[in-house]
Structures are given as structure tokens and as C-alpha cells.
Structure 1
Amino acid sequence: MNLPYYLACVLVAVLSAAAAADEKTLIDYFRPMPIQGKLTSKVWGASGVLPRDPQNGLDDPEMSSWSYWDGQLIKSPDGRFHMFASRWDQALGHHGWTRSMAVRAVSDSPVGPYTDQGLCWPSDQGGKGHNVTALKLPDGRCAVVVSETRPGDVFVADSPEGPWSHLGRLQVAEGEHSDLGRMSNVSIMHRPDGRFMVIARSGAIWISDSGILGPYTVQGPSIYPTVKGLPLRDLEDPVIWHSGGLYHVVVNGWSTRKAYHLTSPDGVNDWTFRGLAYDPTTDFLRHTNGTVNHWYKIERPGVLIEDGHVTHFSFSVLDAPKDDDRRDDAHGSKVIVVPFDGEALDRDLQARAATPNSTVQRP
């Protein structure tokens, strides 16, 4: 074997793979949505979201009862998928979200259709809950966390089916940056090192060494201004996870309607801008037959992780500006689920890290 030639070929292959990975951002890893029912225009929605599949995600196709929002997914040991979402009376229009209730929905497929199983805790403030998110705890239980309309309330159950009991509220320790501990848009995860970590609307990282309730220590000011290249306008709805040896955040800019991807080696320091995560004006929401939907608003991202990689994103979507979603009209909101090649994302980011001259993506 000509060893120098072989090594040169390997080096070229590695550099070529890194260069290809360098050109991609998170939006490039979304996969086509399988059609669970059929595409139809006989449902609510503006022209940009028709025809669509009402059996994708969680939907009230006739908009006769509920507007849906949030939508974090958990897979149970029996192979079923549980979506934790919020809903409110569609007659209130989009601004009825302040009266939203936490619900669970179930499906045999990660993309749906999800069937609404009703309120998670009907006897606790009538089921009140918004900014609904969920996670599995290290002891095998499940937890649901709600914020914005409730101050970081945590409910636990032995299984996703419930019954749910109120464990308490997230607590933030007093300190230099504790004013960044407002309970809004809370995203929570259990870190590989056993600690719990939160990022909320402020963009500050909170960490607890004492279990899910905390107290959480705010690690410093918002990470967003420290990330070179990140647009800073009107950021909200961050979601945080760990995969491929990195901590990831996707954060949405509500006024620009674009979201961005950040990574960090330890979840606290050295956050790096990885570029565009999603943009409703692009064609990334594509069905397997090529039909594309353009939702006006795509917010509240959530991730489903299987075997260490993200396999699906969930999104709250709205077909029109929020002020245009009124009582008994043709507009509304639902939760969609989009397949995602997280294994490829993690592989490409590792290849990029192994190449000293790789570049960071711009929006």
C-alpha cells in the first residue's frame, strides 16, 4: 500500500466532509413529513398552509373547540408517544392563551395523529397551564413544568398517563443575577452530570444541584449578547438539549419569525452561533409528496430525543398574525411534528469541530 497516498486521500475525505457540513445549518436537517391521513383543504387555515395533513400533530380540524399550543413529546415504555400541550377555547381567539389549560395527547406514531386525552390536573386550578414542557426524571417518573401563567409549577407522575400531583415550584437562589429567574418560556433538561438545567426567556442559564425544584443558581447574564453573530431582536421560546457531546439551544425571534441554533461544550460557557434553525418563509415544512406548508408563526420548539439524537421537532404553529386569529374564524393554531436527522447534525458538528479552519455559520 502507498501509505502517504492513502493518508492523503483520507485527509481529503475528512476535509471535504467538514466543508460540506460547514455549509449546513440546523434547518437543513429537517426531513419530509409523512402523510398520516390525507392532504386536504377542507380544514381551517390560510392559503399558505393548505392543503395540509390534519392528522399531523395535535389539531382541531374544524376549529370548533380548541386552539392548541406548546407540545413537548415523551415516549413511553409501551412505544406510544405522549404530547404535553396547552389548549384554550378557540372562541377567545389567539389571545385566549392566558386562559390555557395543560393537556396530554397520545399517538402510536411520533408525528401523529394525537388524540386529546383531556386535562392533566383538572382539580388543580381547573387544569391551568401554559408554556407546557415535560421530561423524564432519573428515577423513572415523568415531570411536567408550566410557566408564564403559573410560576414554574412542577407536576409529577409515575407514567405519562398520570395521575399528576403538584410537586412544587422551581426556586431560584438569591444572587447577582437572580432577577433573570422569571418563570417564562421555561425549558428544562436533566444534564449528563446529574444536575438539572433551565433556560428561560431571559436567556440566562440556571443550574440546580439539588433536584428538579432547585434552588437553581443563575450562572450569569443572558448568554445571547455573548454569542457572536446572533441576531438579538425579540428572542424568546428557547429549547435546550444535549446530544453529540454538545449542549444545544434553539431560540426564536418572534418579530423576525426566524429561529437560531447555538451550541456549547458545557452548557454554560463558550456558546457558538451555528446559524439559522428555521424560517417560515422557506420550504422546510415539506410533505413526502413534495407539498410545502408555510405557517405564518412557528414558535415553542420542542425536541424528541431517541438513542441520544433528536429525531423530531414539535412546533406551535399559527396560520396568520396573532391579532388576526379571532372568534369562530378560519384561523387557528395547532401543534405539528417534523422528522429531523439529529444523528447527521451531531456527526457534522463533530466533523466541524475536528477541522480547525471550519467556519461558523451566519444567518
Structure 2
Amino acid sequence: MQKNLFKLTLMGVMLLMSNFIFSQVTERERPKEWNQLTEGARFMDRFLPMKGKVLSSDTWGAGCVRPRYVDNGIEDGIWSYWGGNIRKGEDGKYHLFVCGWLECSPKGHMEWPNSYVFNAVSDNLTGPFKPVNIIGKGHNPEIFRAKDGRYVVYVIGGRYVSDDLNGKWKYGKFDFNARDRRIIEGLSNLSFAQREDSSYVMVCRGGGIWISQDGLSEYNQLTDQRVYPDVDGRFEDPVIWRDHIQYHMIVNDWLGRIAFYLRSKDGVNWVVDPGEAYMPGIAIHEDGHAEDWFKYERLKVYQDQYGRAIQANFAVIDTLKHEDKPFDHHSSKNISIPLNPGLLLTILDKKPITAGTKTIRVRVQAEEGFHPQTDMDINSLRFGASEEVNYGRGSKVLKTENDGNDLIVTFEGKGNGITENEFAPKLIGKYKNGKMLYGYARLPYIDYIEPILSARAPVFSASGKGLICDIEVQNFGQVSSQKASITIGYKKNGKTIKVASGIVPPLKPYEKMTLQLSGKGVFEQGKEYEQVATIYSGKKNISTFYQKKKVVE
């Protein structure tokens, strides 16, 4: 009987462990239309072969990650490394701000809450990086430069600030103002992108968008729901950046081990592109050998002078996190994978592109190592809205002409798919060697820097004539706004019942104003209402804020 009880207990433990293991991974069903994507549609298509000089099997890790480039990224037998991004210093060296904990820690990988942040340095962008300084305690670091020129290293729960990458760092806290909005999944795993006026847009783990005037002053939340894809994902690790065309974001579904790619004109309103942004299997050498890491997390990008992402850095681990024990053969590190940055494109036509446009002229700029007049397979090129070219459609080439070292490509307008909502048409094609090429372009007639008006929750009070509604509106855009209108109401039986309305006067960048409006209607005491505040520019809805609240207590 005791033997049977032991067997049952053992089977129960094994079942629990099995359930735990499988709870760390699930297979996500891909949309069927993704099967029709052409090469270059997915962000994942931009990963290039890894670089390194020291290929070794004499190191830690499961067999699937050996041999590997041990001089790529950062690794050693002392620390388990995680997260981190790179900044080039005035000293000409590359500084990777990465976190780590002792590999021999009793909790193994689960020691991560007690991470230290390192300044690791290399002469090469891909590594090897060596730690030269411990900044302090912290996890999931991301470095950026504030408007005043100081360096900021974000960590979960705080940040370090210094005048010098190699100097002393002072710990402090960010200030956050949710502005009556719910904070989605807490304020952790933050990522930051500098806007054109050196202000900052930030995305938190839950997918909320925040803005600070200088990167260190108060961050204000603009969204009341996540901007991520509307799918059943367990999202974390968002990374955001801006190039000379648009804003980019990638967010990881850690459970499904699949990431999604988003784009934006202003960093606030986002569209989701189809296909995987990344997934296991992207760490490949030039000869086709793969470093088959179990998980890729904490993606960060290194950008060139145009803001284009030219390298991805990942935290990787060779097994399930809970299986990484002290003094074992498992660990984690940071790896570097080069990225195809895309071509530099300029649309030469000034008139709006529509379905009736006859031709579209695009300049393809020459760069070091790229000669558009000789390197491209011209007949493979397709140009137009992403929704078209990502699926192999779009406008075809009519003719080309040389302009200095550049190439001007004239596309027929038919099939371009560009609508009034488009802000970054895309080019997809191939080089003559058969490899993929792509690029985005700005539309010359689009305003890329616009006012961003955002309201807080309305506050109602009684007066002799009915209701008084006070509502704060702020311009988080980088340019002044024009006169706008605002309507306040609540949802009832699927309809919006208007309570108050008024005019929002022009506001300078970051200026705010509290409007006092006359209201009508009666709110029941103790009843919860879904309030709606909508701001219009003419008839265009430019901002809507929903909040469920008991108006009268």
C-alpha cells in the first residue's frame, strides 16, 4: 500500500511538473492569410546572419546552442546576463547596459529580482562585451539620453542618471500621472523613444502610451487601453523606437513565443503589420548553422544615423527558466543579431496619391555598399500600401532613370492601395543576388507632427441651472493646436447620451486648460456610468476617452 501511495505521489508530482512546463509554452494559431505573405512582409525577414570569430562548443548550454559564437554579445561562467541595450559613447566604444546575477545563486534563474546593472564595453557593435562597471541594483535596463543631454538607465521601479557613461550614476524614481486612466498591468518593462523636439514617448508593459516633455519630467498617460494586437497574447517586453520615417514597436507574447510588429505616425496611434516580428530560430550563422535558443526576450535595437534599426539584441536562455539551476550547464546571455535596415526612399510627387494616380516616382538613395542602379532586380519591385505589397501586390515598375548615384523609379499608379489613412508606403523586392530588400517612404503631403489633444475625466457638480462640467484638456503634440470641439456624454443601451459640449481653444505644445461647460441631464446617485469625452477637429474624431465612474456618490 505504501509502495502504491509512493507511486501515486510520484505520478502526481510528475504531472504537476509536466503541467508547469507546458504552461510556459503554447502554440499560437497563425491567421491563414499569413500564409500568403511575401518575403519582406514580416519584421522577422529582416534578421541577418550572426557575426562572430570564436565558434566554440567548450562552453555552457544545451547541445542545441553549441557550438556558438561565444564572442557575440556577452557571456561568461560567472554571471547569468539578461536584457540590455547599446549606446555608443564619446570614447568611441559601444556600451551595453545589461543586467545579471551570479550563475551560482541558490535560486538559479529565479534570482533575477536581485539583478545588478552592468556597463559592459566592446570595440565592436556585436561584441564581445566585458563588464567594466556596476551601476547598481536593477532589472531589465534600457538606456536613453534625456533632452538635457544626461544619460538615463531605466530599471524596473526606478532609474539611474549620469552626465557620463563612464561616470557616477544617481538612483531616483520617475513620476507618473495616469490622468484618470487605468494603468494596464502596472508600470514595468518600460521602453522609450525620443520625439522630434527631444520629448519622449514611452510604452509600458501593458501597452499604455505615456509622454514626458524631456524624458525625466513627469510621464503622462494618454491611452485608456492597450495598443497591442487584439489577440489572446501574454504580452511583455515592448520596445519602441523612431526613425526618419515613423515610429516602430515590437511586443512579445512570452507564452506563445511569438512577437508582433506595429508602426505609428505619431507614437500614440498604432497599426499592426502581419506576420511574426520574431520567434525562436532567428539566430543563424552565415553557413546556416543555428543557435537554437529556447527563448528570445527583452529585444532592444541599435539605430543608425537615420534612426533605422541595424541590430537587435536579445536576452536568450537555452532551457525553461525554472530549469536553470546553480552550478549547472544552463545559463542566459545577451546576443547580437544584425538587421537589414531598409532602403532610403523619397517620394518625388507632391500631389496626394489615390487609386486614380497614374504614376508614382520614388528616389532610391545610394549608400555605402549599395548601388541602386546596379544592385536591384528592378522587375521584382512592388510599391504601395503595406496591405498590398506585403502580399505580393502593389504597383509595378514602368521605368527607371539615373540621378547621380541614385535611381529614380517610376511605378504605375494602378494597385498602389494608398488611402487617406496611409502614412508610410512600402517597397518590397529583391537584390540581383536574390536576397530581400525593402524600404518605407514618407508621403510629402502628410503632416507628421500634429497636435495631440487629450482630455481627463469630466467632473460634474450641481448648480442652480443644472450641471456644471469641468474637464481638463492638454496638448501633448509638438505643435500648437487649432480650435477644436469637445463633447461629453455617457453610454446607454448602445447609444451615447450627450451631456455637455464646448470649444477647446488653441493650445501650445504641452499647454493644458480646464474648460467649464454647462451640462444637462440627471445622474442617479451611486450608479456607475460609462462616460465618454470626445474631441473633434471639424468632423474628425481625434481623441476619445472612456471611463466607468459613479458620477454622484
Pick one of 300, 303, 325 that aligns with 2:301. 303
| Cα distance in 1 for residues equivalent to 2:69 and 2:124 | 14
Aligned residue for 1:104, secondary structure, equals strand
| Cα distance in 1 for residues equivalent to 2:186 and 2:138 | 16
Pick one of 68, 81, 89 that aligns with 2:102. 89
**1:110 and 2:125 correspond:** yes
User: 2:173: which partner in 1?
Assistant: 169
User: 1:324: which partner in 2?
Assistant: 323
Pick one of 45, 52, 60 that aligns with 1:35. 52
| Cα distance in 1 for residues equivalent to 2:324 and 2:42 | 32
The 3 A distance-change label for structure 1 pair 335 and 356 is: closer
TM-score (norm 1): 0.82
The 3 A distance-change label for structure 1 pair 289 and 205 is: same
Letter aligned with residue 164 of structure 1: W
* Equivalent pair of 2:293/2:317 in contact (CA under 8 Å): yes
User: 2:268: which partner in 1?
Assistant: 268
| Cα distance in 2 for residues equivalent to 1:352 and 1:239 | 29
Structure 1: gaps spanning 5 or more residues: 1-18, 121-126
User: 2:444: which partner in 1?
Assistant: none
Could you tell me how far 1:118 is from its partner in structure 2?
Answer: 3.0
Could you tell me how far 1:204 is from its partner in structure 2?
Answer: 0.8
* Equivalent pair of 1:22/1:358 in contact (CA under 8 Å): no
Aligned residue for 1:98, secondary structure, equals helix
User: 2:436: which partner in 1?
Assistant: none
1:156-195 counterparts in 2 under 5 A?
156-166=161-171, 168-180=172-184, 182-195=186-199
User: 2:5: which partner in 1?
Assistant: none
Q: C-alpha deviations, 1:218-251, integer Å up to 9, x for none?
A: 4331112xx4xx5431110000001242111111
Q: C-alpha deviations, 1:241-268, integer Å up to 9, x for none?
A: 0124211111111111111111111111
Aligned residue for 2:45, secondary structure, equals helix
| Cα distance in 1 for residues equivalent to 2:384 and 2:70 | 43
Q: C-alpha deviations, 1:250-298, integer Å up to 9, x for none?
A: 1111111111111111111142234211111x3x211233321110010
Could you tell me how far 1:357 is from its partner in structure 2?
Answer: 5.8
- Decide which moves more: 294-303 or 196-205: 196-205
Could you tell me how far 1:359 is from its partner in structure 2?
Answer: 5.8
TM-score (norm 2): 0.55
Letter aligned with residue 56 of structure 1: N
The 3 A distance-change label for structure 1 pair 158 and 21 is: farther
* Equivalent pair of 1:181/1:218 in contact (CA under 8 Å): no
Letter aligned with residue 216 of structure 1: N
Aligned residue for 1:277, secondary structure, equals coil
User: 1:10: which partner in 2?
Assistant: none
Could you tell me how far 1:331 is from its partner in structure 2?
Answer: 0.5
* Equivalent pair of 1:250/1:262 in contact (CA under 8 Å): yes
Aligned residues: 320
* Equivalent pair of 2:146/2:198 in contact (CA under 8 Å): no
User: 1:131: which partner in 2?
Assistant: 140
The 3 A distance-change label for structure 1 pair 271 and 86 is: same
| Cα distance in 2 for residues equivalent to 1:23 and 1:341 | 10
| Cα distance in 1 for residues equivalent to 2:240 and 2:386 | 26
The 3 A distance-change label for structure 1 pair 191 and 353 is: farther
The 3 A distance-change label for structure 1 pair 271 and 193 is: farther
- Decide which moves more: 244-253 or 132-141: 132-141
Q: C-alpha deviations, 1:122-167, integer Å up to 9, x for none?
A: xxxxx210011101233332111111xxx2x22221221121123x
User: 1:24: which partner in 2?
Assistant: 41
Letter aligned with residue 161 of structure 1: N
Pick one of 90, 99, 102 that aligns with 1:77. 90
RMSD of equivalent CA atoms? 2.5
Letter aligned with residue 181 of structure 2: H
The 3 A distance-change label for structure 1 pair 352 and 268 is: farther
Could you tell me how far 1:181 is from its partner in structure 2?
Answer: 7.5
| Cα distance in 2 for residues equivalent to 1:23 and 1:66 | 37
Letter aligned with residue 239 of structure 1: V
User: 2:252: which partner in 1?
Assistant: 252
| Cα distance in 2 for residues equivalent to 1:218 and 1:355 | 28
User: 2:288: which partner in 1?
Assistant: 290
* Equivalent pair of 1:49/1:294 in contact (CA under 8 Å): yes
Letter aligned with residue 138 of structure 1: K
**1:51 and 2:67 correspond:** yes
Letter aligned with residue 187 of structure 2: M
* Equivalent pair of 1:72/1:134 in contact (CA under 8 Å): yes
Could you tell me how far 1:353 is from its partner in structure 2?
Answer: 7.7
| Cα distance in 2 for residues equivalent to 1:256 and 1:215 | 31
| Cα distance in 2 for residues equivalent to 1:58 and 1:324 | 21
The 3 A distance-change label for structure 1 pair 107 and 358 is: same
The 3 A distance-change label for structure 1 pair 188 and 23 is: closer
* Equivalent pair of 2:208/2:221 in contact (CA under 8 Å): no
Could you tell me how far 1:53 is from its partner in structure 2?
Answer: 1.1
Identity of aligned residues (%): 33
* Equivalent pair of 1:187/1:198 in contact (CA under 8 Å): yes
Structure with higher helix content: 1
The 3 A distance-change label for structure 1 pair 110 and 23 is: closer
Aligned residue for 2:239, secondary structure, equals strand
User: 1:341: which partner in 2?
Assistant: 340
